[in-house]
Amino acid sequence: MIYCLQELNLHSDGTVLYYGQLLQNCMIHSVWDELKASSNFVEARKAVNVFNSNNRWRKRGIAMVPTKFGISFTTKFMNQAGALVQVYTDGTVLVTHGGVEMGQGLHTKIAQVAASSLDIPLSCVFIAETSTDKVPSASPTAASASSDLYGAAVLNACQQIKARMEPIASRGNHKSFAELAEACYMEWVDLSAHGFYITPDIGFDWNAGKGTPFNYFTYGAAFAEVEIDTLTGDFHTRKADIVMDLGYSINPAIDIGQIEGAFIQGLGWAAMEELKWGDDNHKWIRPGHLFTRGPCSYKIPSVNDIPLNFKVSLLKGVPNPKAIHSSKAVGEPPFFLASSVLFAIKDAITAARAEEGHLDWFPLDNPATPERIRMACVDSITKKFASVYYRPKLSV
């Protein structure tokens, strides 16, 4: 029933959000429908029900969760980017932009944009380290918008250089880009350009609470199936399926890797990573002292926490007219999809509680640690320590 309610509340093209932004090119229905089919949701529900009816101390649960993530800095002036592109007479290209490469693949995407624009091999494009003596006043590499911003700035610089090269290129007597670059140099053509880009048509009135703070939205949905041990509170994620709308992805391998990483990071947030400090509920910790300061006490996901069956797919044939090469941002949008694991855990706990005759609502805060899972699975043991609606501030 809950999934029918979710479907009824999904946004559509033409939806006006509570702060006044009009949704365009809304793909959440397509994402949701594709996920329902790829995860075989109806059959999965039946299989879980059969498993739960045959097992007293182990229970399974499933959940589907959609997400909509706005792309742009909500501080308007930050939505600008600069880049410096230099073409050399040997046909190589050096690109400097204001974004920071931190493992997310930004440099690779920027190199692809330059190579595509100049119609040269990717191996001919080199990325210089980010430096304010080349590109000043760069906005933070944040808000999942760096590929959009710096990709567009690089494209702008490349287009300037191409326009300067065009009169000589039109003669058609150059066998390679290197020969063309050499010819342009000999005829005093400037082969260096500064590109600049600002995100158009956005703005938000913080006093009125109205406006268009986002350039567009990235949509996604995730399905998760978990199995819990009702006696220990342990769980593992048996399956996770994700469908994301990333427009025409510039680099699907990078984007899928980002989706996988964000989901696992979110899994830690949803079910593992808990801050514990000294207070009235934890008198064994010195007052005001943070106990979870390292990997021995603050548990982040490891290889053992990766779903046993993990599948990510991108929605096909849906260009995004609002960003570079019809692509979409990917860094943060998939993070919340890991809440599907939290809700799948709650679904499994619901089955365990039903066997004890408890069919009404119950609290389950994240992270869904083993302690919280165990105490929520009401039985003769837990009833000795807490009510069926026990809601611990923190785990023990």
Listed in sequence order, the DSSP H helices in the chain are 2-8, 28-38, 41-54, 106-118, 146-169, 177-186, 252-271, 339-354, 370-376
Query: What are the domain boundaries of the chain?
Result: 2-72+216-384, 76-198
Could you please report the per-residue DSSP string of 239-258?
EEEEEEE-BS-S-HHHHHHH
Task: State how far the alpha carbon of 170 is from the alpha carbons of 9, 121, 146, 192, 387, in Å.
Answer: 55, 21, 34, 20, 81
Q: pTM of the full predicted structure?
A: 0.93
Given this model, what pLDDT does residue 68 score?
98
- Within 8 A by CB and 6+ apart from 334, the residues are 67, 220, 222, 242, 244, 258, 259, 262, 263, 266
Paired tokens of 86? 């230099």
2-72+216-384 and 76-198 in the same fold = yes
* CATH code for residues 76-198: 3.30.365.10
Given this model, what pLDDT does residue 29 score?
97
Element (H, E) at 127: strand 125-127
**Minimal CA–CA distance to 243: which of 332, 315, 327?**
315
The residues annotated as belonging to the active site are 332
Phi and psi (nearest 5°) for 266?
-65, -30
Kindly tell me the sign of the dihedral angle through the C-alpha atoms of 262, 264, 268, 270.
Answer: positive
Angle between helices 41-54 and 339-354 (to 10 degrees): 40
Report the chain (396 residues): mean pLDDT per 10 consecutive residues: 84 96 97 97 97 97 98 96 98 98 97 98 98 95 97 99 97 94 97 98 95 98 98 97 98 98 98 90 88 90 96 97 97 97 98 93 92 91 74 57
Given this model, what pLDDT does residue 396 score?
45
- Within 8 A by CB and 6+ apart from 381, the residues are none
Given this model, what pLDDT does residue 173 score?
87
Given this model, what pLDDT does residue 159 score?
99
DSSP structural state of residue 128: P
* CATH code for residues 2-72+216-384: 3.30.365.10
Task: State how far the alpha carbon of 155 is from the alpha carbons of 184, 221, 247, 324, 347, in Å.
Answer: 20, 31, 18, 8, 48
**Minimal CA–CA distance to 147: which of 101, 212, 180, 89?**
101
Given this model, what pLDDT does residue 385 score?
77
The Cβ of residue 355 has, within 10 Å, a number of other Cβ atoms equal to 15
Q: Taking the mean position of all CA atoms in its chain, how far away is CA 29?
A: 18
Given this model, what pLDDT does residue 233 score?
96
Q: Measured between alpha carbons, how far is 309 from 241 in angstroms, rounded to an integer?
A: 8
Phi-psi region of 317 (alpha: psi -120 to 50; beta: other; left: phi over 0): left
Task: Using only the alpha carbons of the chain, give its radius of gyration.
Answer: 26
**DSSP β-bridge partners for residue 319:** none
